[in-house]
A and B are shown apart, each in its own frame.
Chain A
Amino acid sequence: MGKLASHAELSQFLGSVERRAYKHAVFAVRNEHDALDIVQDAMVKLAEKYGSKPAGELPLLFQRILQNTIRDFCRRRKVRMAWTTLFSSLQPKDGEEEFDPLDVLEDSENQSAPATPDESLQQKQTIALIEHELSNLPARQREAFLLRYWEGLDTADAAKAMNCAEGSVKTHCSRATHTLAAALEAKGVKL
């Protein structure tokens, strides 16, 4: 059994993971306020129930809690949506448009466009496009991709966090990678 996490270690761990956790939630629920609520719930659950676990166990525990919290939120929202769809369909649409990364993506072949954008702007556009495509991935593919390649979990730990078989993680990752590659290529982005 490892050394139990102290208050400072838990604080340091949460500080190191909170931004990525927030992004995970934003990709999944596409709403900043809901994402903040999800991250806070996950942090509180970790601190309350597993705050005294060894520091080495915290990353996997937190990812598991975070993914479960996101899934619970999506389930609750689905139920809410089922009840409100009927009423909202009776109301006129407010004309709100979804964010389309193509709106901000510069076309380098278009001569009417401004000169070559600076690197910083180009990076921001690429990041916006990647984040948009990640949001569009099926939930399980996105989870597997982010846990494996962003959080750096191995296949076994990712499977534990996702509560599925290791083979499923590999399949989800492979599909996510192909989908992302195809989407980026279609938008003319090369990494």
Chain B
Amino acid sequence: MNTELEPIKIKQLLDRSTRQMSGQVLLSLSRARQKALERQSAHAPAFTLASNGAGHPHVNDWMHWVLPHSVQQMIIAALLASVVVSGVSYWHHAEEQRIGELDVAILTDELPIEVFVDH
């Protein structure tokens, strides 16, 4: 039995067969490639940090979670930030008001009984 098959010859013939494919198949393969490349663009990060690969390769991994990737995400982040800021300023204002009332009460010697009770 002939077991001295040379794989290199099979490779050459198979390579030749890939050059004899029909135009329809080649067109379909080209379309498939374009579709795949579109997907790569769709999944690519919106922007990359300048420190990319400069000694801290893992920085980008978590920074991409922190940094917004699209306009919608940026709007949502801005809304959240404004809610937090207004909440903090309201709490700060209420606290100032409470301290002011307490100061007035101390000056007029009209402290409420709760002030003298141990909690």
Interface residues on A, range: 35 or more
Question: Shortest distance in angstroms between A144's beta carbon and chain B's nearest beta carbon?
Answer: 11
Instruction: Determine the residue in chain A with the shortest Cβ distance to B1.
Output: A182
Instruction: Determine the residue in chain B with the shortest Cβ distance to A191.
Output: B9
Interface residues on B, range: 35 or more
List, in ascending order, chain A residues with CB within 8 A of B53's CB.
1
How distant is the Cα of A180 from the Cα of B13 in the complex, in angstroms?
14
Contact of A185 among B1, B33, B37, B39 (CB under 8 A): B1
Contact B13 A127 (CB under 8 A): yes
Question: Shortest distance in angstroms between A175's beta carbon and chain B's nearest beta carbon?
Answer: 11
A43 with B32, Cβ < 8 A, contacts A19-B18, A131-B17, A184-B5 known: yes
Residue pairs across A and B with CB atoms within 8 Å: the count is 111
Contact of A10 among B2, B9, B40 (CB under 8 A): B40
Contact B35 A23 (CB under 8 A): no
A48 in contact (CB, < 8 A):
yes
Contact A51 B40 (CB under 8 A): yes
List, in ascending order, chain A residues with CB within 8 A of B11's CB.
149-150
List, in ascending order, chain B residues with CB within 8 A of A127's CB.
13-14, 16-17, 20
**Smallest CB-CB A-B distances: 7 pairs:** A43-B36, A40-B32, A51-B40, A149-B7, A181-B5, A47-B40, A19-B18
CB pairs A–B below 8 angstroms (14 shown): A19-B18, A19-B29, A22-B29, A32-B25, A39-B29, A47-B37, A47-B40, A48-B43, A123-B16, A124-B20, A130-B13, A178-B5, A181-B3, A191-B13
- Interface residues, chain B, with chain A CB atoms under 8 Å away: 1-11, 13-14, 16-18, 20-21, 25-26, 28-29, 32-33, 35-37, 39-41, 43-45, 53, 57
- Interface residues, chain A, with chain B CB atoms under 8 Å away: 1, 7, 10-11, 14-15, 18-20, 22-23, 32, 36, 39-40, 43-44, 46-48, 51-52, 123-124, 126-127, 130-131, 145, 148-150, 177-178, 180-182, 184-185, 190-191
Contacts beyond the supplied A43-B36, A47-B43, A131-B14: 9 A-B pairs with Cβ under 8 Å: A14-B33, A18-B32, A43-B33, A43-B35, A47-B39, A126-B13, A148-B7, A181-B3, A185-B1
